[in-house]
Amino acid sequence: MTIHALPRSTQVLVVGGGPAGASAAWHCAQLGLDVTLLDRAEFPRSKPCAEYVSPEGARILSAMGALELLESQAAPLTGMVVNAPSGDQIRGEFVARHGFRGFRDRGLGITRMVLDATLLERARAAGVRVIERAKVTDVLRDGTGSVSGVRLQHDNASCELTSSMVVGADGLRSVIARRVGLARHARWPKRVALVAHYRDVADMTSLGEMHVTSHGYVGLADVANGVTNVALVINAHDAKAMHGDPTAFLDAWISRHSVLAARFRSAHRVSAVHATGPFASRARCAWAPGVALVGDAADFYDPFTGEGIYSALVGGELLAPFVHEAVRASSAARSALALGGYERARRDSFIGKWRVERLIGLAVSSPKLMNAAARVLSRNRDLSDLLIGITGDFVPASAMLSPRTLWRAARAVASQSISFNRAGYVDRR
């Protein structure tokens, strides 16, 4: 590992060493920019996450030279199965009759300990100066108010690092977004997650799993070597019942659900239980003079569809040419014009997925809607495969949101003659 000293200045300063920061740094370095990346942690380090890379997310890993390094340490994921409160099941696979094909036919289940450390090494190999154990506390500004660097703590000392551009890739609670007044948290949905690794969970397959209940949902995914990622997501209000003991809360939640409890009977936890959230945040704008946001620092809605790693990787790729243009700009006005282009490109790239995510979020929040959707999709495999392909990031969201597909779904609902009983479960008349 190359150990870099902290420079006084750099062209591009990336704050955050997760997938968003590593991708942004690597892509900027490929364009010939001088890049420094800071992270408060020392890698490898664990991170609460669904730990799922979609089939299309693997395209960025391949471009960075990381895919071959990661494949032997990851589990293949070929699709998804969603279990509704009613017992109906939505099952979809990435290889399906819809004809869309991703960069690969499968996704990856891989721990963040492995993924993040590998991506940082690829950034280093591209010439990025990586500084660990560097805690950013504030931004610096020039005489015009534009961000011109950061203030940080490193090696038990406070120091400053100037730059032409700061990239905030520092996650859901982004210091950069807060310091420049871009952070904004939505009122709904307010959810938190408890994430841990278990070994020997019974009946795991190459399909990721979501188990939706009336009081939260839990995701299960193989992450290789007999280890399963277990992520429980609940309303922030319900999280108050944890009383500071997330481990006991997670164990009790699983034990109350008979189907899951049976599968965990011989399993044992091999990591601490980490809590994260509340979620549902979106920056007022993804840029300000001298700064751009990427990954969770820019937006994060809900972990149900596992979009985080893909959005982080492709967001870094998307951002780099606009950063290059802004750094090379001959004036502040031209730099702002470049960053405004980044904002528009982000919207054009993600708007369809944002809409699908919100529709899914609405369904997950209501047992009635979830059960109705599951009843329809469990009987229409083509629609299920289409939806799972969208979450795999290779089927365009427009394929599900098109009038023709929505009409087919509406007709399917009508043909089921669905009503709801008092418990919110579906009755078919």
Rounded mean pLDDT, 342-347: 96
Q: How far is 93 from 401, CA to CA, in rounded Å?
A: 19
Give the confidence band of 407 by pLDDT, cuts at 50, 70, 90: low
Among 65-79, 182-196, 238-252, the range scoring the smallest mean pLDDT is 182-196
- 385-400 per-position pLDDT tens digit: 999 999 999 999 888 8
Strand (E) or helix (H) holding 420: strand 418-420
Would you identify the CATH topology of the domain 9-45+56-73+111-185+282-353?
Answer: FAD/NAD(P)-binding domain (3.50.50)
Kindly tell me if the per-residue pLDDT of 356 is higher than 60. yes
Of the candidates 22, 21, 8, which has an alpha carbon nearest to the alpha carbon of residue 174?
21
Tens of pLDDT along 194-246? 999 999 999 999 999 999 998 889 999 999 999 999 999 998 888 888 888 99
Give mean pLDDT, residues 112-126: 98
The arithmetic mean of pLDDT across residues 36-61, rounded, is 95
Would you list the domain boundaries of the chain?
A: 9-45+56-73+111-185+282-353, 77-107+366-428, 191-235+237-276
Report helix angle 367-377 to 332-365, nearest 10. Answer: 90
Q: Is the pLDDT of residue 273 over 50?
A: yes
pLDDT of residue 408: 65
**Separation between Cα atoms, residue 232 and residue 364, nearest integer Å:** 13
Compute CA distances 356 → 302, 353, 383, 402, whole Å.
12, 5, 14, 12
* pLDDT (tens digit per residue) in 293-309: 999 999 987 777 777 89
Between 3.40.50.300, 3.60.20.10, 3.30.9.100, 3.40.47.10, what CATH number should domain 191-235+237-276 receive? 3.30.9.100
Average pLDDT value for the chain: 90
Q: ω before 278 within 30° of 0 (cis)?
A: yes
pTM higher than 0.75, yes or no? yes
Q: Take residue 215 and report the two structure tokens written for it.
A: 């009081």
